[in-house]
Amino acid sequence: MLYKVTEDLQKKNVSNRYMDVGIHENVELVSVEYKQTEKTEYIAFYFEDEAKAKLSHTEWKIRQSVPLTEMEPDAAALHLRLVNDQIRRINSIVTTFTPEEKFRKVDTDTFADFCKSTIEVLGNSYKGVKVRIKVVYDRRNFTSLPRYTNYTWIERMTVPKEESEIKIFTNDKLTKSVPRAINGADEDVKNVLTEINTETKPEEDKLPF
């Protein structure tokens, strides 16, 4: 028979559930991977809560059209800032599970080697570890971890809720906006430079891009 109701079909499909924005508890980092596409590279962190709702946080390679040594001074400085901000975000995740001293040993020349070393440092340290995270919308209206690094957005569940440093701020994007075109990966020096030149200066505690 083509149309047949089975026990499996009657079960709730939890494979496509995704975490909504807000603060989530008892979440686990279930896997980390480094991938290359035709145009870029990325490292992705996959989280899952007790109800099997999922969240992925992706960090793309900072794109550059010319070598760093050939960039104009402003572009070179911005590129380095974007790279360091990215390292800080990844550090926030990694050092939730492994000692800071261990992650400080990572010193590579390429994004690929950095990602592979990061995964090696993590090992299985995250397996079975419950954490508390903050989920917001990114610029493409996908749920993700925040991009800023000056406030806490991930911590172990061993931190009592009343002592948690994770807070919801007015700057956190909790509603979807009209999407704007972003060429390529998340970060591109040309894109960010254009924004800096056309947008008003943000308040001190707001994201710079």
* Residues 12-50 pLDDT 10s: 665 568 999 999 999 999 999 999 999 899 999 999 999
Quickly state the pLDDT bin for 10 (edges 50, 70, 90). Answer: confident
Write the CB contacts of 33 (distance below 8 Å, at least 6 apart in sequence).
43, 44, 46, 119
Task: Kindly calculate the radius of gyration of the chain based on its CA atoms and give it in whole angstroms.
Answer: 19
- Computed over every residue of the chain, the mean pLDDT equals 86
Domain boundaries, the chain: 16-198
Please give the full DSSP string across 165-179, using - where no structure is assigned: -----TTS--S----
Distance CA 163, CA 68 (A): 43
Write the CB contacts of 89 (distance below 8 Å, at least 6 apart in sequence).
59, 145, 147, 149
100 burial level (CB within 10 Å; 0-12, 13-18, 19+): exposed
pLDDT at 185: 52
Q: pLDDT tens digit string along 115-158?
A: 999 999 999 999 999 999 999 999 899 999 999 999 999 999 99
Tokens coding 132: 């508390």
Distance CA 181, CA 10 (A): 40
For residues 10 and 83, the model is more confident at 83
pLDDT at 66: 87
